[in-house]
């Protein structure tokens, strides 16, 4: 769909998506996305837009004003904004961007943690891992392909994780202080399908289990076990919607020792059995 916004060139496109009730209650979900080619006249000012923005600067420069602070985003940077707060952004040069507005799941917790650590403009050392997920989403819209909401939620979560990990690496290149929560999240996301304990995670970041549990809850909003459970359930949702694997196979693949335990946990956290979730149409 073309747009007639001031400063947005005719070869730009914008796409809108209406998320299902299931996606609103359980997933990250997209509200709109697009790729923009902008002149220096491009300017956006909002008091409130009920979503979060991810914008990748393909080329050019964009001035961001958020929390009464100006930050310049350059080629290769990622802009992450809580659009529920007043903000503006404007093209300082000819500008090309890929972007999406999203909400849901644990968006606020992710945003607050990333913003407190790195601000709203993030320079990625290796942007390819991040951009491949954003490109996949926008390309699906461009081609008119069906939008799989479980896959989209995984793409968004992976982008947010890339922001955490990549920006941490950039910070650590000039600062020897390592953030143990980022390292712990990385460890969990690589090992949630195995039997891992609080002691295992705390040991990998060299912190006592008691202290680690406190700061992990403070920084992420989840107890470590809750975060592991979230990772397992998100993985299960994706497998249920995109594969023909049996429920028993999925249970063991994501770290449960029995199908019954998996079904019980899934139903308690989603109000669906895995079978019902798989059969539910969007």
Same domain, 19 and 129: yes
Q: What span, in angstroms and rounded, lies between the C-alpha atoms of 160 and 259?
A: 31
| Averaged pLDDT of the chain | 87
Please check whether residue 174 lies inside any domain of the structure: no
In percent, the amount of the chain with pLDDT more than 90 equals: 46
Asked if residue 39 belongs to a domain, the reply is yes
Q: In 3-state terms, what secondary structure has residue 145?
A: coil
The domain that contains 188 carries what CATH number? Answer: 1.10.10.60
Please indicate, yes or no, whether residues 99 and 23 belong to a single structural domain of this protein.
yes
Residues 21 and 143 in one domain: yes
Are residues 112 and 185 located together in one domain of the fold? no
**Which range of residues forms the domain containing residue 218?**
180-279
Average pLDDT of the residues in 265-277: 89
Predicted confidence (pLDDT) per residue in 90-132, tens digit: 999 999 999 999 998 788 988 998 898 889 999 887 788 889 9
- pLDDT of 81: 96
Which residues is 70 bridged to in the sheet?
Answer: 65
- Check which CATH number belongs to the domain holding 138 and give it: 2.60.120.280
Do 84 and 18 lie in one domain? The reply is yes
Residue 277: the pLDDT is: 86
* Same domain as 129, residue 35: yes
Is the pLDDT at 274 greater than 70? The verdict is: yes
Whether residue 78 is contained in a domain is answered as: yes
Regarding pTM above 0.75, the answer is: no
Contacts of 86 (CB under 8 A, 6+ apart): 46, 47, 48
Q: Is the pLDDT of residue 75 over 90?
A: yes
pLDDT over threshold 70, residue 166:
no
Measured over the CA atoms of residue 142, residue 129, residue 91 and residue 69, the dihedral's sign is positive
Which CA distances in Å does 39 have to 43, 54, 83, 93, 137? 10, 20, 22, 7, 24
**Same domain membership, residue 192 and residue 132:** no
DSSP 8-state secondary structure symbol assigned to residue 36: E
Q: What is the pLDDT of residue 56?
A: 97
| Domain annotation covers residue 169 | no
**Does 64 reside within a domain?**
yes
Same domain, 121 and 45: yes
Is 161 contained in some domain?
A: no
Contact 242, 149 (CB under 8 A): no
96 plus 202 within the same structural domain: no
Number of domains in the chain: 2
Residue 180 and residue 212 in contact, taking contact as beta carbons nearer than 8 Å: yes
């Amino acid at each position: 769909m073309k747009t007639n916004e001031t400063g947005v060139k005719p070869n730009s496109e914008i796409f809108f998506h209406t998320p299902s009730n299931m996606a609103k209650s359980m997933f990250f979900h997209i509200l709109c996305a697009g790729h923009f080619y902008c002149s220096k006249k491009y300017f956006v000012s909002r008091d409130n837009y009920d979503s979060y923005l991810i914008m990748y600067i393909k080329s050019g420069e964009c001035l961001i004003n958020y929390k009464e602070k100006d930050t310049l985003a350059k080629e290769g940077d990622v802009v992450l904004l809580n659009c529920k707060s007043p903000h503006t952004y404007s093209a300082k040069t000819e500008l090309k961007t890929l972007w999406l507005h999203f909400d849901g799941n644990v968006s606020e917790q992710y945003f607050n943690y990333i913003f407190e650590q790195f601000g709203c403009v993030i320079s990625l050392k290796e942007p390819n891992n991040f951009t491949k997920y954003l490109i996949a989403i926008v390309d699906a819209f461009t081609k008119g392909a069906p939008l799989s909401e479980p896959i989209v939620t995984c793409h968004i979560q992976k982008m947010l994780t890339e922001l955490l990990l990549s920006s941490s690496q950039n910070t650590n290149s000039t600062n020897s202080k390592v953030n143990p929560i980022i390292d712990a999240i990385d460890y969990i996301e690589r090992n949630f399908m195995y039997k891992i304990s609080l002691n295992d995670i705390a040991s990998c970041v060299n912190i006592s289990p008691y202290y680690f549990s406190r700061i992990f809850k403070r920084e992420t909003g989840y107890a470590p076990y809750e975060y592991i459970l979230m990772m397992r359930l998100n993985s299960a949702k994706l497998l249920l919607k995109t594969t023909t694997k049996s429920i028993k196979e999925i249970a063991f693949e994501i770290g449960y020792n029995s199908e019954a335990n998996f079904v019980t946990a899934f139903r308690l956290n989603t109000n669906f059995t895995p079978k019902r979730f798989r059969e539910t149409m969007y």
